[in-house]
Each structure stands twice: as structure tokens, then as C-alpha cells.
Chains A and B, each alone.
Chain A
Amino acid sequence: MTLKSGTTSACAACKYQRRKCIPECLLAPYFPADQTKVFQNAHKLFGVSNIVKILKSLDPSQHAEAMRSIKYQANVRDKFPVYGCLGVIRQLYYQIQLLEEEFHSVLSQLEMYRQYHHEVPSQLELGMAPPTNGLHFLTAVPDMPVSMQHSYSNSNNIGYCSSYVDSKDHNNNNNNSNSNSNNNNNNNNSLWIQHPFLATNNSSSSNSNENNPLMAIQSQLLVSNTQPLVIQHEVVQDYDELHPFFDTIDDRQSFIHSKEPYDSSCEDSAKETTQAIELVPNNELKNAAACFSLTSVH
């Protein structure tokens, strides 16, 4: 790019519009001349005038962040023309749901271990006979310590965020001829999912024994998002290329494909620990009995 003496090249926005890039150009700091593709994406989605309108409605100190989000949103829309950022949000919700399920499963196993270690030593101390059925705790499913839920339900103040999960997602592979009969209002059915992750209206104090907010979310997700499973099959192929998106976590596709291994690993580890638990009481019984016979009753 040739530079005229004393002048810099026009920004990508002014270059696109074929106009002189003035020093006060609002977009110049955010669309350098060599970022034509980024600008085109933003222009395609928002349009220059709308971007300028957004910037003018904000404090200058917020311009940079706003432009980052605009560029990001536009680039995601370019990558995923149908779902855009909403597809990304759905994927993340799904991911969270899977992680939550696995987490609850692990917590339940951990709680069983804790209960067992609690019960047997205390009964020995009291001189009580150890439980004849050492496996009874296996049937107990204690309430989960829901610190996780606590943190999630508290985490955020973005009260507006709701997932536009349209029941017509069912039909995204069919004709949408019946769409008008369904889509009536934002607040219909399961169209809008208010997630406590993003809403402040879930009280944290009620989380101690309630899985309700998250379970409600999960049930909503399960009920209304059978389609996202379909959608994800469509989107996952696109996300193959979005590896940097999930730099810090598993790649989307590998995560989706590893859902079953997650399930099976849960089941396998549950089976292993169950077997281990079944064996332990026998040994403990014998040891306890030996102790009992040698020592006096306390």
C-alpha cells in the first residue's frame, strides 16, 4: 500500500466506500487498511451506518470493546450464516449440561465414599455391630452439594440473555410452513430459556438442596433441545474449523464425539467403585468383628 507523504492510507471502511478517510473517522482505529475481510463481515451484518450509530450511542471509552464484540459477532456470522453467535451459545449450554451431569455423577460417588467412611468408624467407636448389610449406603443418593450450582446461578448479571430456542427447531430440516402457527411471542413455551447462569433472579440461598434451577434448565434443554442435537450435527461440521474458539477446552467436535466415552467412563468408573465398595465391607466386617471380640464394649 503506497503512502502519500504526510498521509496514512485510508481505513478499510473508507476504502470500501471509496471516500476520503478523515482523521476523525470513527472506524479507522478498528478497521485498518489490511483488514478488509473483517470489515466486509461487519459491513455485511451491520452496515457502516449502523456500526457508527452504535458507536455514537456509547461513551468513547467503550468504543474499543464494542468494536471487538461487533467484529467478533460479524466474523461468527460469516462462519455460521444461519445460527451465528446463537449457535455458539447453544453449544456452550450443551457442553455445560454434559459437564454438570458428569459432575453430579462424580459427586454422588464421592458422597457415598464419605458416608461410608463416616459410618463405619463411628459405629466401631460406639461398639456397635457393623451393619450387616454393608451395602445399604449404595442405595442412598444424598443431595448433592451444589456449590457449583451456587456459583453458576450467581455468576452473572446478564439478565436479558435467553436462548432463542424455537420449538420450530424441530422442523429446521422440514418446511417451515407451520411456523406461523407456533411462533407467537418471545415468552411462549420453551422458546425462550431463561438460564440462571445468566439471570439474576435465581436466589443463591435456595441452592443448598435444590437442583431445581439447573435441573429445570436441564429439563428444558432436554425437552426443547433434542433439535440442537440435530443442529449440532449440522453445526459441528462447521465448528471443525473453529479450533481456536475452544483453545482452552476440548475441541467442539471431539467433545461431542467424546460424549459417549464420558458416559461410559462414568458408568465404568461407577461399576468399578461399586465393586470396590462391595468388597470393602466384607473386609471391614471381619476386621470390625475381630476388633469387637478383642476389645471391651465402649
Chain B
Amino acid sequence: MSSSSYSSSPCAACKFLRRKCLPDCIFAPYFPPEEPQKFANVHKIFGASNVSKLLNEVPTFQREDAVNSLAYEAEARLKDPVYGCVGAISVLQRQVITLQRELDATNANLFRYAYNEMPPLRPPPPPPSSAAGQSSGFSYPYQWNDPSDEDNERSSGGNM
């Protein structure tokens, strides 16, 4: 159902912003009126003007993906104002590391069986998951590759 035609109902963005939804409204294809919460979240976290600027910088065929990712990040930030979606990234990163470690241990076990025919060892318990660099029990996947940022983060507001 098209929401961008002049005669149809305004898109969720224009409804929220209480303005006329023009035919060339940049939000209309991605914020249908049936999903008011989507735009409300995005507007609350990022702001409509920022979203508009971001969409203008992205090719048309990728705008929907961009909007969806913004909506996801906005919802994540609303649910977790401290970490937002970065919390999920950190958790997944740790899981990858743990899984890789267990896989390596199991592979080593399998080699023992295959080539030595010895009883397999139980995989060693994973070491404590406190990764290096945690200041608050929360590990970031990576530091932004800005040396001054890293130095300043360590010295000033990065860790509390």
C-alpha cells in the first residue's frame, strides 16, 4: 500500500511531525503509517533531521536497509540506554571467542583419538571470560582505530 501518494494518508514520520506528507517525502517509503512506533523510536534517539541526512547520503536501493538498521539501533538504545546495540555485539564477540576455543580443544581431542587412539580428554573448562581491557566487566569488540582516541579514552573519560 503506497503511502507516498499525495492523496493517501501521511507517512508515520509526517504524522508524527505533524506536517504535510509531500509526494517526495524521503521518509514515506520506509515509515508507513501502520508503524508509528518505528519512526517514534528513530526520531527519539537520532532525530528526524539526522535520519534524513543519513538517508540522503545512501543510495536509494539501500535506504530501506539503512532505515531498518537505524530502527533496530534506536530500539536497542531505548531498551538499554547505556550500551544500546553495542551490548549485543560484545556478547556475540565473546561467544565467538569461547566457541572458537572449544572448537580448538575438541579438534585437539579428535586428533588424539584419530592418530593415537587414546581416550579423548574432556575439553578443558573455558578460562574465566574476563577479556583484556575490561574496565567495567564489559568488553568492546575493538577500539576505534584512532590513536588519540585510545590514549584519551584511557586517560580521561573512557574508563570509570
CB within 8 Å of B: which residues of A? Answer: 29-30, 32, 34-35, 37-38, 44-47, 49-50, 54, 57-58, 61-73, 75, 77, 81-89, 92-93, 95-96, 99-100, 102-103, 106-107, 109-110, 113-114, 117, 148, 151-152, 155-156, 158, 160-164, 166, 168-169, 172-176, 179-181, 183-186, 197-198, 231, 242, 244-249, 269, 272-273, 276, 280
Contacts and interface: CB of A to CB of B under 8 A. Distances in A.
A151 B106 contact: no
Contacts of B57: 81
A72 B142 CA distance: 9
27 contacts: A30-B157, A38-B144, A46-B45, A47-B50, A54-B77, A57-B81, A66-B82, A71-B144, A71-B149, A81-B57, A82-B66, A84-B70, A92-B92, A96-B95, A106-B107, A156-B91, A158-B87, A161-B76, A166-B65, A166-B68, A180-B3, A181-B1, A245-B141, A246-B141, A246-B142, A248-B97, A276-B114
B120 A114 contact: yes
Contacts of B109: 110
| Interface of B, helix, strand, loop or mixed by DSSP | helix
B86 A113 contact: no
Contacts of A110: 106, 109-110, 113, 120
B96 A99 contact: yes
Contacts of A276: 114
A56 to B, nearest CB: 10
Interface string B118-160: 0110000000000100001010111111101100110011111
Interface residues of B, number: 85
